[in-house]
Amino acid sequence: MTAVPVGPPPRLALWLSRPPGPRRAAETVALARAARREGAEMVVLAPAGEGDRELAVAHVARVATPPRDTALAGRLAARRVLRRLERQGGLPRLVHTTDLRLALTTAGAVRRRRIPRVVELAAGDLDTLVLRRRRLARVLADAAALLVPSHYARAVVAQQLGGELAERAMVLPPPVDLERFDPACVTGSRMAGFAERWNLPPEGRIVMLAGPLAPGQGHRRVFEAVARTGLDDVLLVLPGDGAAAGYARELERDLAASGLGGRVRFVDLREDRPAALALADLVVWMPETAPLAAPALAEAQAMGKPVVTLARGALEEVVEPAETGWLLADGSVEELAAVLRRALALDHAQRSRLAERARRHAAQKFGLERRIRRQLALYARVLGYR
């Protein structure tokens, strides 16, 4: 935001569709502080959430918005939010919406106020992009900028919405807070406390599954591959937070049938994701559908952990093959089992070298500071300051 004209600081609005959790709050605080140093004010529009206290402590202005609702209710709420914002310090010079559903419901209200819009395509926006492509094409036609989380996401935009819009898209991967995801900051007592709370034994090797606990994430394939390795000291850790209804029970039945039932833990990673990653020996994600982004794998590499995933979609943009992990060609059970045996057989020196490469790769490609610099530069260009 350099070369800002003399006068009141330009107001920028970051519009979130979900309550800010700890990770989003930390990222938002860092962005707001950087904007402040550049002479701008950041205001956050979001439903109430557990990250509100962190925003308040950092003196980041926030205007409450209603939780997700129907499209009509969302459009009416957007008008009310902008009126409230106008009364509480003035309308923003720019609005940045953080997912496509929010872009759809807020576009009309923001457009009427003639405020430039930056629209971000989020990691989970694939269904919205495919199912609502005609309306999105109209809504995004006059957006000042489109942010996409990967080159693969930009290719999907070109396929669904046309090459002209894809050419305007800026690739900006989801960031990793390198201070939070830093192996040096996760103490032994912190790891031991997490392990004790979730009944993770000190002996054996831990394989963490990175995807959400929902169908289509390759859980059963990983279970079968682990069983085929013949390694009886492998413990599987699955993210139990946000599980799809009934899905955990289905998996438990499958695990009991495969003989792996006692070797699986469903863990709430929101409690301390860095500590959980520090305990892991390997992080695996085998989704059936190519994702638009893979922030969980970037976090794992920031913690120095090797990752195993598929050579498809955004996944192959996150991992450096043979340097920070393994990209599987077809993801068959046989191929996965062979890679699991190889990855879990790394000695201490090999793991140390891989951890150093993984940490460096995450810092260079996904560091939060890098993302913030590029984001503020984009804002400046939209507002005509550069």
Ordered domains of the chain (ranges, CATH): 11-175+367-383 (3.40.50.2000), 183-366 (3.40.50.2000)
pLDDT at 5 over 60: no
What pLDDT, on the 0 to 100 scale, is given for residue 380? Answer: 94
Tokens read off for 159: 């396929």
pLDDT at 9 over 80: no
pLDDT at 2 over 80: no
pLDDT at 323 over 70: yes
Among 167-171, 240-244, 250-254, the range scoring the smallest mean pLDDT is 240-244
What pLDDT, on the 0 to 100 scale, is given for residue 192? Answer: 96
pLDDT at 62 over 60: yes
Q: Which residues of 226-265 are buried (b: 16+ CB within 10 A; e: fewer)?
A: bbebebeebbbbbbeeebeeeeeeebeeebeeeebeebbb
- Higher pLDDT pick, 110 / 259: 110
Angle of helix 247-258 versus helix 219-229 axis, rounded to 10: 20
pLDDT at 56 over 90: yes
Closest alpha carbon to 360 in 298, 312, 311: 298
Contacts of 54 by beta carbon, 8 Å cutoff, 6+ apart: 22, 25, 26, 29
What pLDDT, on the 0 to 100 scale, is given for residue 356? Answer: 97
pLDDT bucket at 256, cuts 50 / 70 / 90 = confident
What pLDDT, on the 0 to 100 scale, is given for residue 225? Answer: 95
